[in-house]
Amino acid sequence: MSVNKNDTIFVAGHRGMVGSAIYRKLQNEGFTNLLTQTREELDLRNQDAVYRFFEKEKPDVVIIAAAKVGGILANDRYPYSFLHENLIIEDNLIHASHSNGAEKLIFLGSSCIYPKFADQPISEDSLLTDVLEPTNQWYAIAKIAGVKLVESLRIQYDRDYISLMPTNLYGPGDNFDLETSHVLPAMLRKFHEAATNNHEPVTLWGTGSPMREFLHVDDFADAVSFVLRNKMDHHLYNIGTGKDITIANLAKKIQAITGHEGEIIWDTDKPDGTPRKLLDVTKMANEGWTHNIGLDEGIQKTYQWFENNIENIREVDMS
């Protein structure tokens, strides 16, 4: 199914970094019937409320950008919250979409669904072939369940439902809370605050040796738009750049962009996480989509947004 500009599209999680980027992208492309609900208007954990909403609105397309998210520390500290809430949210939305005849659905996951020691770059076929990274297994298991829900609906009911697995995303609207954020926004905040405090030393977790791939959220929104406009052959696609960088070199980039001139201290008593996580993006490239925003440009844009919104930067309640 190729989506029309007047189709009703429900963007679940439109206030988050990913959902807001998708919403902006669709608005700019002229989609005129975008449907949203705040957490106060619709609790996605409440099955009855979600089902009533879908029965009333009957969206043609559903994009699931809603999730409880966080970095290593948050996943380790709140395992039940990450597993339980993400399972409920995705099951409510996917089943309600199917039951009410949504023609197209895009489920957004994370590259953490893949095994800790998967062959690099990681292909979609690596799913469920080995053990997960322990520090974020709770979130990963929930997302794997969502992928399998989508796949099973395609098999049993021939639904045009698709899962997209992005690499590490960053950009405007990110979470910069030092306890719950991912590595890139956490570094941006740490280096910014250190630079404004007489360039004091910055302490970072681990050894700096792990390698990570980063994708600007506006590029990911462009990939979502591409999937909406095209008939896709597979149920699961990796979305990334196909390029990675060591955490140590990422730190140097961010240090330079923020103007920090102090020392970087690596706390090697803290975990590194997965040694390397680079996605094989061949399948999506074969469909005709590739990223546009380079890492230096993307970090600079994100830092500009951070400075302009520093009084209102988003932090996440994990309770």
Q: For residue 108, say whether it is annotated as part of any ligand binding site.
A: yes
Residue type, 31: F
Distance CA 26, CA 38 (A): 18
CB 281 within 8 A of CB 241: yes
Which residues, 6+ apart, have CB-to-CB distance to 70 below 8 Å? 78, 82, 139, 175, 180, 181, 182, 316, 318
CB 117 within 8 A of CB 130: yes
3-state secondary structure 103-125: CEEEEECCHHHCCCCCCCCECHH
Q: For residue 143, say whether it is annotated as part of any ligand binding site.
A: yes
Q: For residue 272, say whether it is annotated as part of any ligand binding site.
A: yes
Q: Residue 143: left (phi > 0), alpha (psi -120 to 50), or beta?
A: alpha
Q: For residue 19, say whether it is annotated as part of any ligand binding site.
A: yes
Q: For residue 25, say whether it is annotated as part of any ligand binding site.
A: no
Q: For residue 168, say whether it is annotated as part of any ligand binding site.
A: yes
Q: For residue 17, say whether it is annotated as part of any ligand binding site.
A: yes
Q: Is the dihedral of CA 189, 195, 201, 206 positive or negative?
A: positive
Q: For residue 262, say whether it is annotated as part of any ligand binding site.
A: no
Catalytic, out of 114, 139, 170, 303: 139
CB 150 within 8 A of CB 94: yes
Q: Which residue has the tokens 């960088």?
A: 245
Q: For residue 163, say whether it is annotated as part of any ligand binding site.
A: no
Element (DSSP H or E) covering residue 165: strand 160-166
Residue-wise over 77-92: b if at least 16 C-beta within 10 A, else e? ebbebbbebbbbbbbb
- Residues comprising the chain, all counted: 319
Q: For residue 150, say whether it is annotated as part of any ligand binding site.
A: no
Q: For residue 302, say whether it is annotated as part of any ligand binding site.
A: no
Q: For residue 84, say whether it is annotated as part of any ligand binding site.
A: no
Distance CA 244, CA 278 (A): 6
Judge whether 237 counts as a catalytic residue.
no
Q: For residue 44, say whether it is annotated as part of any ligand binding site.
A: no
Q: For residue 13, say whether it is annotated as part of any ligand binding site.
A: yes
Q: For residue 16, say whether it is annotated as part of any ligand binding site.
A: yes
Q: For residue 314, say whether it is annotated as part of any ligand binding site.
A: no
Annotated binding site for NADP(+): 13-19, 108-111, 143, 166-169, 182
Where is the binding site for substrate, in residues?
Answer: 190, 205, 212, 272
- The catalytic site residues sit at 139
Q: Which residues are annotated as a binding site?
A: 13-19, 108-111, 143, 166-169, 182, 190, 205, 212, 272
